[in-house]
Every structure is written in C-alpha cells, then in structure tokens.
A and B are shown apart, each in its own frame.
Chain A
Amino acid sequence: MASLALRKVISQVPRNVLYLSTRSLSKNLVDTFSMEHATGLEKKEMMAKAAGNENPFDMRVYKRGPGTKTDPNIIPSAYEERLIGCICEEDATCINWMWLEKGDPKRCECGYWFKLVDAKPL
C-alpha cells in the first residue's frame, strides 16, 4: 500500500505541481460531480433538491388550513397510518398527538379535521 501510495503521488508531480490552479469550479459543476458520485438514498435526496423539492422527506411542519369536516387538512403518507401532532391553539404549549388512518377524515379534540392521502415515497 505504501509503495502504491508513493507511486500515485510521484506519478502526479511533473504534470501538476508546476502550475498554480486559480480556476475555481462553478457551483453547478460541483453539484454535478457530487451527484454523479453519490448513490442510493443520498442521490435520491440530491436529485429531488435539484428538481426544486426542498423538502423531499416531508419533514416540515404544515400550516393548518380551514380544517373543517368537508375541507380537512390534507396529510400525505406512504403508509396506511401516520402519527400527527396538532398545535391546537396558536399559543398552545403542548402538541396533541393522534394516529390518522387512511379513509375517513378524523377530528382532533380541538375541532380541526385531518385526512390522510396517498403520497409516493422518495
């Protein structure tokens, strides 16, 4: 390994040590190289972000809509159920958690309605 390392270094010297690299890569090129290098979930995340999706894993807190029975808050999920937390009032100091299942909308104890809909996993 040591001789391999030394050979690798020495083979690069004459071509590159003599000039100064002042050119810097554009942000675009750095992203392209890095995305080509990546794989798996990391790559899927990078591609989603490059496509303009800043929230590929659906991690953000949703702003509640009207939340009536006929117009419930829509919650996406790739599964049959999702644990959701409702901040019932603006100045509430706790979060009310409940399981939301696919099918009929469900009401939080504060009165707001929620409905689970299908979402595609990344």
Chain B
Amino acid sequence: MAKHTHPFHMVDQSPWPLTGALSALTLTMGLIKWFHKMNPNLLMLAMFITLVTMIQWWRDIIRESTFQGNHTSIVMSGLRWGMILFIVSEILFFASFFWAFFHSSLSPSIELGSSWPPSGISPFNPFQIPLLNTAILLSSGVTITWAHHSIMENNHPQSLQALFLTIILGLYFTSLQAWEYWEAPFSIADSAYGTTFFVATGFHGLHVIIGTSFLSICFIRLMFFHFSPNHHFGFEAAAWYWHFVDVVWLFLFISIYWWGS
C-alpha cells in the first residue's frame, strides 16, 4: 500500500502528450495541404488523431479524479490556476483581434474611402440577429448559474435541466451565427472590414462551439453523478470558460456590430 505523505498527484506515464504533439504537427501540415492542394485527407487524419487524443486523455483524467480520488484540495488549486492562466491567454488572443479592428476603423485609410464601414460595405443591422444573440448568451449565463447552484444544493434534476437549457442556448447561438454568415453581403476578402469582422466573430464562434462541447461533456458526467456539492471543478472550469465567451461577445457586439456599423 502506497504511503500518502504528500497531497500531490504524481501522474502515471501516458502516451497522450506524444499523440497530441503528433496531431498538432499533422494539423498544421494538413491545413497547408488543404489550402494549397485543395485536398483535405491529411487534415481529416489530423482531426481524427486530435479527437482520439482528447477523448483518451480526458477519459484518463476523469478516472484519476472521480474514480481514484487523486484530486486533493491542493491538486484542485493547481487546476484552478491552470484554467485561470489559460483564460488570460485567451483574453490576450482576442485582444489582438480587437487591436486589428480598432487600428483599421479608428483612422480608416484612403483605400477604404476614409470611412468606416468602408465604402461599398453594408454591415448587419446590430439590432436584429446580433441583439438576439446577445440576449441568448446573457440568458445562458443565467441558466449556467442556476445549474451551478443546483449542483451545490445537490439538486440533481434541476442541475440537469438548467445545464440542458444552457447547451440548447449555445446551439441556438451557433445556428443564428451560421445563418448570418450564410446571409452576409460581404466576405472575409472584402477589405479590412470583412477581414477583422470574420476573424474576430469567427474565432468567437469557434469558442462558443468549444464551450458547448465542454458543457456537453459536463452534462454527460452530471448524468453519471460525477459531481458532488463541493467537488465539481470540471463543471466550474466549463462555466468560467462560458462566461469568458459571453463577455467576449458583449465586446464584439458593442464595438464591431454596433459602433462599427
């Protein structure tokens, strides 16, 4: 029997960092092949390796935490700091897109007709679908808090309902964004407006999809009773991430959709 003389989690050897590195290399090569040769097969292989790595690695972490009890309070503290630093890095990632947007829009160059939106661009009306999307994401912030409090109160049925609603709102947001992209009268190749618009909102949309997947995994774990009233960090991390995505949307809505139109 192992001696438990310290609270840290000494992880076992794992192949997943190696397959993760392999998937990252294959992903970059696959994208280049796709862009230059119009051939997606290497990219598809890369997506497959990435998906398999994610599933197996996170499955191992669920086993280590929920079923082996390796996540002591000090291990949880490390995970919290990890998630905080990750979200800070994401904030800086989005800061660069806002920088690009304000760089182009605050003193529009002569090529843009010295105006913003540039001449020839007809932007979306911010008070139609974008405002609805704002309401959807703000509501999802309410439902996820409802889910969190239900978990802390050991109210399993309500936590399932509230988390389910949150995921549905996330999917609703994604479909509305997809619809609006489909309907857009400008493309990513239409001046600095199209570029900054689609890069910023596109990466935000990708983050909503990632957040929805994160919440869906939490929903499945909730169904299998993996969360206890004072130990449910997987859910908390997903909720932090979801709030971050929500706040980024508020900035996108106010500056790019509203002020920028």
Contact = CB atoms under 8 A, between A and B. Distances in A.
Contact of A37 (B6, B220, B228): B228
Interface string B142-176: 00000000101111011011001000000000000
Contacts of B230: 30-31, 34
B7 A40 contact: no
A64 interface: no
B152 A78 contact: no
Given A8-B223, A42-B72, A59-B7, A30 B152 contact: yes
A121 B6 CA distance: 9
Contacts of A43: 69
Main SS class of interface, A: helix
Interface residues of B, number: 31
Contact of B164 (A9, A15, A34, A59): A9
B231 interface: yes
B39 interface: no
B13 interface: no
B70 A41 contact: yes
Given A16-B157, A25-B153, A30-B152, A42 B4 contact: no
Interface in B163-222: 164, 219-220
Given A37-B231, A78-B3, A122-B5, A8 B72 contact: no
A94 interface: no
A79 B157 contact: no
A93 interface: no
Contacts of A70: none
A39 interface: yes
Contact of B161 (A16, A31, A38, A44): A16
Closest A-B pairs by Cβ, 7 of them: A40-B69, A37-B228, A39-B69, A12-B157, A121-B3, A42-B69, A34-B228
Interface of B: 3-7, 67-74, 150, 152-155, 157-158, 160-161, 164, 219-220, 223, 225, 228-231
